[in-house]
Structure 1
C-alpha cells in the first residue's frame, strides 16, 4: 500500500496579495492586468511597498496538491524554498493544509524563496509580478525516492522544463513512481513553455508519462 494518493513537483511560490489603486500602479510602474516575471531586486522593492499583505502558499501544481490534501487524501509536494521567512511560512502552511512538504528549506545560497506580488485594483483586476527565485533550481537531488516510489500518482509542472535540472527531476520522479506501480503525468502549463521545449515535451509524454493535462 502506497503512502500517498497524489504527489506533485513544481514551483513553490508564495502568493502575496495587496489592494492597490491606479495611482500606486502607475507610481510603481506596474502594468495592470497581466503577469510579469521580474528579477530579485524588483521583487524586493515591490514586496516592501505592499500594505496589509495577505500571504498564502501557491504555485500551479502546489495548489492542486493542497486542494486534494484538504479533502483528506494523503498528499505530498516536492518543491524548493529558501530557509528565510517566506520559505518557512510556505513549508509550514503546506503542512498545516494537510500536504506533506517533503523538502527542508535550503540553508545558504543567494536565491530567496519565490514570491508572486499580486496587486488587486478597486475594479477587481489583478496585476501579478512574479520572482521565481530558488524554486527554479529544483533538481533530481530534491526528489526523495521514498516519496516518488510510494505515490499512486505524481503530477509534474511544465514550467520547470525551462532548466535542464528540472527535466532531470521530472524524469527521476516519473521513473520512480512508475517503478513503484503508480502513474505519472504532467500539466504542460503554457503555450510559450511548449514552444520552447516542444521536442523534450513530446519525448517525455510519449515515453515516460501516463497522462497529460492541457486545454488546447
Structure 2
C-alpha cells in the first residue's frame, strides 16, 4: 500500500473569487439584483470584469476552501481541479500552493477560461455574486494523478462538481482508485439544489457503499432522505455510511458512526460578518481530525472552531491561526 503523503485530497471546482466594492448605482447600471447569485457565460464574465473597480482576488471553490483550511490547521492537503492556462488560472495555482496545498493538476487549454465569481460588495455588506464556471466544469478523468489519490488517507469530493457529466466520470474514477487503495472516501452534498437535481445519483453512491464519510447540513440531509425532520432523516441515512456529519449553523453539529453519536454546540463568536465558507471550513476541521485518528467529538470540535473563525470576517479562507485555536486537538 502506498504511504499516506496527504491527510486529505479534495476534488472540486477551481474558482477564483474576484471581490470588489460597488455602489448601488453601479449595480443598477449593470442591471444586477443586490444580494443575488447568478451563473454567467464567458462573454458576460469578461464584460463585467472590465467594468469592476479594483478587486481583491482569492482562490475559492468549496473543496479548495476545505483544502486551504486543512493546510491552515497544519495538515497535509491536496487539491484536484481544472484551471485554464490563463492569468486567473496561474493566480489560482499560486494562491492555493502558497496556502500550503498540493495542486498538481495540469492546466487545460480547451478554449474556456478559468472559472471566476465576481462578487460585488455594497456599503451595506450585501454580496452580489456573478459566477462563471468555465474550465472548472471540464475536469476529465485523464487529469487525475492516481498515485496522488492513493497517497491520501481521505479523498473528499464536493457535490457541486457532480452536476456536469465530464467531472462526474472523473469523480467516479477517483472513488474507485481510493477504494482499491483502501482509503476513505468523503462526500459533501454541497447544496439542496444539488440534492434535488441528483438525489438518485447521490443515493446510488451511498447505497452502493462507496461513501465512508457524508457531510450535509440539516436542509440537505432532510432533502436527501425526503423527510422534513432532522432526527428522522439522520436515522434514515446514518446506517448507509460509516460516518455521517450534519451541521446545524448556530445549533452546532452532530456526527454518527455505527451506534456512536456525538453532538457539539457552535463555538461562540464575537460578531457574525459573512457565512461564506462555513461548511467548507467545518469539513476541513472534521476531515483532519478523522485523518489523525481523533474521536467523533474532537473532530466535530475542530470543525466548529474553523467554522467560527471564518464567519467572523469576509471571505472563505481562515485569517487567524487555526492551529493555535485548536490547541492540543491538532498536536
TM-score range normalised by the length of the shorter chain: over 0.9
Residue 146 of structure 1, CA deviation = 0.9
Look up the match of 1:182.
183
Where do 5+ consecutive residues of structure 1 fail to align? none
Distance 1:179 1:70 in 2: 29
Distance 1:34 1:145 in 2: 38
Q: 2:5 aligns with which of 3, 6, 9?
A: 3
- The answer to whether 1:94 aligns with 2:114 is no
Name the structure 2 match of 1:109.
110
Contact 1:91 1:105 in 2 (8 A): no
Q: What are the equivalent positions in structure 2 for 1:1-150 lying under 5 Å apart?
A: 1-106=3-108, 108-150=109-151
Unaligned runs of 5+ in 2: 220-331
Preserved CA contact (<8 Å) 2:106 2:143:
no
Deviation at 1:206, TM superposition (A): 1.9
TM-score between both structures, scaled by the size of structure 2: 0.63
Aligned-residue CA RMSD (Å): 1.0
- How far is 1:52 from its partner? 1.2
3-state SS, counterpart of residue 117 of structure 1 = strand
C-alpha distance in 1, partners of 2:36/2:144? Answer: 32
Residues 139-177 of structure 1 deviation map (CA, whole Å, 9 limit, x = unaligned): 211221011111100110111111222221111111211
Q: Tell me the TM-score normalised to structure 1 length.
A: 0.96
Alignment partners' CA distance in 2, 1:163 and 1:81: 16
Counterpart secondary structure, 1:124: coil
Q: Secondary structure at the match of 1:128?
A: strand
Shift of 1:41: 0.8
Structure 1 counterpart SS, 2:152 = coil
TM-superposition CA deviations, 1:79-129 (whole Å, max 9, x none): 0000000000001111110001121222x3210000000000000110000
Count of residue correspondences:
215
Deviation, 1:30, is: 1.3
The offset of 1:69, in angstroms, is 1.1
Q: Secondary structure at the match of 1:73?
A: coil
| Higher gyration radius (CA) | 2
Contact kept in structure 2, 1:81 and 1:135, CA below 8 Å: yes
The secondary structure found in structure 2 opposite 1:5 is strand
Match in the other structure for 2:162: 161
The runs of at least 4 consecutive aligned structure 1 residues that moved more than 3 Å come to none
Task: Name which structure has the greater RCO, CA cutoff 8 Å, separation 6+.
Answer: 1
- Contact 1:95/1:101, CA 8 A, preserved across alignment: yes
SS in 2 for 1:136: helix
